[in-house]
Structure 1
Amino acid sequence: MDGTEAQSSNSDGKRGGAVMGLTLAAGGWMSNLIVYLIQEFNVESINAAQISNIVNGCSNLFPVIGAIGIILLGLTATLDPLRPQPCDINGSSICTPPSGVQYAVLYAGLALSCIGSGGTRFTLATMGANQFDNPKDQAVFFNWYFVGVYAGSALSNAIVYVEDNVSWKLGYGVSAVLNFIGLASFLLGRRFYLRDKPQGSPFTGLARVVVATFHKRKVQLSSKIEDYYCGKDRITTLNIATVTKKRFRFLNRAALKTEGDVEPDGSIAKPWRICTIQQVEDLKTLVRIFPLWSSSIFLGTPIGIQASLTVLQALTINRHLGPHFQIPAGSILVVVLISTAISLTVIDRFLCPMWQKLTRSSPTPLQRIGLGHVLNVLSMATSALVEMKRLKIARAHHLQTRPGSIVPMSVLWLFPQLVLVGLGEAFHFPGQVALYYQEFPASLRSTSTAMIALIIGISFYLSTALIDLVRRATEWLPGNINEGRVDNVYWVVVVAGVVNFFYYMVCSSLYKYQNVEEGADESFSTDK
Structure 2
Amino acid sequence: MDNSPIAQLKPVLDQESQAKPKKGGWITLPFIAATMLGLGLAVNGTTSNMLVYLLKEYHVDGVDAAQITNIVRGSLNLVPIAGAILSDSYLGCFPVILAGAAINLLSFVLFTLTAALPSLRPPHCTSLSAKCQQASPGQLAVLYGAICLLAIGAGGTRFNISTMGADQFESTSDKDTFFNWYMVFLYTSFMLGDTAIVYIQDSISWAVGFGVCLATSALGLVMLLLGVRYYQMPATKGNPYTELARVIVASVRKVGIKVGGVHGSVQYNVGAGALVDSAADEAPSKNLRFLNRAAMITASDDSSRSGDGSGGAWRLCTVQQVEGLKALLSIIPVWSSGILLFMSIGVMIGMIVLQALAMDRSVGPHFSIPAGSVAVSCRVSFILATLVLDRVVFPLWRRITGGTPPTPLQRVGIGHVLNVTAMVAAALVERRRLAQPGVPMSVMWLLFPLGIVGVGEALHFPGSMAFYYQEFPNTLRSLATAMAPMLVALGFFSSTMFMDVVTRITAWLPENIDHGRLDNVYWTLAASGTLNLAYFLACARRYKYHNRAAT
What is the TM-score with the length of structure 2 in the denominator? 0.85
Distance (whole Å) between structure 2 residues aligned to residue 169 and residue 137 of structure 1: 41
Q: In the TM superposition, what whole-angstrom CA distance separates every residue of 1:109-163 from its partner, at most 9, and x where no partner exists?
A: 1111121123321232344445556555444333222222211100112011000
Instruction: Say if 1:112 and 1:78 are closer, same or farther in 2 by CA, change over 3 A.
Output: same
**What aligned pairs does 1:200-211 form with structure 2 within 5 A after superposition?**
200-211=238-249
User: How far is 1:66 from its partner?
Assistant: 1.5
Per the alignment, residue 63 of structure 1 pairs with 101
Tell me, yes or no, if the aligned pair for 1:225 and 1:240 is still in contact at 8 Å.
no
RMSD: 2.8
Find the counterpart in structure 1 of residue 270 from structure 2.
Answer: 230
3-state SS, counterpart of residue 477 of structure 2: helix
Higher relative contact order (CA 8 A, sep 6+): 1
Query: Closer, same or farther in 2 for the Cα pair 1:265/1:244, shift >3 Å?
Result: closer
2:362/2:369 contact within 8 Å kept: yes
Pair 1:452 & 2:495 matched: no
Indicate whether 1:150 and 2:152 are aligned: no
Name 1:171's counterpart in structure 2. Answer: 209
Maintained 8 Å contact 2:240/2:476: yes
Aligned pairs for 1:377-388 (under 5 A) are 377-388=420-431
- The CA distance in 2 between the partners of 1:391 and 1:175, in whole Å, is 37
The question of 1:512 aligning with 2:544 is answered yes
| SS of residue paired to 1:261 | coil
Unaligned runs of 5+ in 2: 1-19, 79-99
In the alignment, what sits opposite 2:301? 261
Find the partner of 2:503 among 459, 465, 471: 471
Distance 1:158 1:191 in 2: 33
Partner of 2:236: 198
Contact 2:23 2:231 in 1 (8 A): no
Which residue number corresponds to residue 224 of structure 2? 186
Deviations 1:3-25 (A, max 9, x none): 99983222344333322221101
Q: Do the aligned partners of residues 261 and 242 (structure 1) sit closer, same or farther apart at CA in structure 2, a change above 3 Å counting?
A: closer
- 1:99 equivalent to 2:139? Answer no
Report deviation, 1:47: 1.0
Contact 1:125 1:449 (C-alpha < 8 Å) held by counterparts: no
Aligned to 2:328: 286
Indicate if the aligned counterparts of 2:415 and 2:459 stay in contact, CA closer than 8 A. Answer: yes
Pick one of 516, 527, 543 that aligns with 1:484.
516
Kept in 1, the 8 Å contact 2:21–2:229? The answer is: no
Matching residue within 25, 29, 46 for 2:42: 25
Q: Which of 425, 436, 449 is the matching residue for 2:457? A: 425
CA offsets, 1:452-511, max 9 Å, x none? 221111111100000000000111101000010100000000011111111111111111
Structure 1 residue 305, shift from structure 2 partner: 0.3
2-structure distance, mates of 1:343, 1:469: 34
Go from structure 1 to structure 2 and tell me whether the alpha carbon gap of 1:256 and 1:244 turns closer, same or farther (over 3 Å shift): closer
| Deviation sequence 1:391-438 (CA, Å, 0-9, x none) | 1112xx3xxxxxxxxx42111111101111011111111111111112
How many positions carry a matched residue from both structures? 504
Amino acid at match of 2:521: V
What secondary structure, in the 3-state scheme, does the structure 2 residue paired with 1:324 have? coil
Q: SS of 1:240's equivalent?
A: coil
The runs of 5 or more residues in structure 1 that have no matched partner are 398-406, 519-528
- Stretch moving more, 324-333 or 348-357: 348-357
Aligned-pair identity in percent equals 44
Cα distance in structure 1, aligned partners of 2:533 and 2:176: 27
Q: Does the CA-based 8 Å contact 2:276-2:283 persist in structure 1?
A: no
Pairing 1:73–2:123 present: no
Give yes or no for contact 1:126–1:448 (8 Å, CA) kept in 2. Answer: no
Is the Cα contact below 8 Å between 1:17 and 1:182 reproduced in 2?
yes
C-alpha distance in structure 1 between counterparts of 2:408 and 2:177, whole Å: 16
Give the direction of change, closer, same or farther, for the CA distance of 1:92–1:39 in structure 2 (3 Å limit): closer
For 2:159, which of 112, 117, 122 is the aligned residue?
Answer: 122
Indicate if the aligned counterparts of 2:345 and 2:453 stay in contact, CA closer than 8 A: yes
Residue by residue, what CA displacement relative to the aligned partner does 1:80-131 show, whole Å, maximum 9, x if unpaired? Answer: 0001011139x99820000111111111011111211233212323444455
Could you tell which deviates more after superposition, 159-168 or 268-277? Answer: 268-277
Q: Relative to structure 1, is the Cα distance of residues 213 and 413 closer, same or farther in structure 2, using a 3 angstrom cutoff?
A: same
User: Could you tell me which amino acid in structure 2 is paired with residue 416 of structure 1?
Assistant: F
Q: Sort the Cα spacing of 1:105 and 1:320 in 2 relative to 1 into closer, same or farther, 3 A.
A: same
The answer for the alignment partner of 1:440 in structure 2 is: 472
For residues 266-324 of structure 1, the C-alpha deviation after alignment (integer angstroms, 9 at most, x for no partner) is 66332221112221111001011111111111111100000000000000011011111
> What is the Cα deviation at residue 517 of structure 1?
12
Question: Contact between 2:48 and 2:372, CA under 8 Å: does it hold in 1?
Answer: yes
- 1:218 maps onto 2:251 in alignment: no
2:61 aligns with 44
Query: Could you say if the C-alpha distance between residues 26 and 414 of structure 1 is closer, same or farther in structure 2, counting changes exceeding 3 Å?
Result: same
2:396 maps to 1:354: yes
Q: Indicate how the Cα distance of structure 1 residues 377 and 265 shifts in structure 2: closer, same or farther if over 3 A, else same.
A: closer
Comparing 448-457 with 243-252, which one deviates more in the overlay? 243-252
Distance in structure 1 (CA, Å) of the matches to 2:371 and 2:203: 12
Q: Who is 2:84 aligned against? A: none
Asked if structure 1 preserves the Cα contact closer than 8 Å seen for 2:427 and 2:518, the reply is yes
Q: Which amino acid aligns with 1:297?
A: I
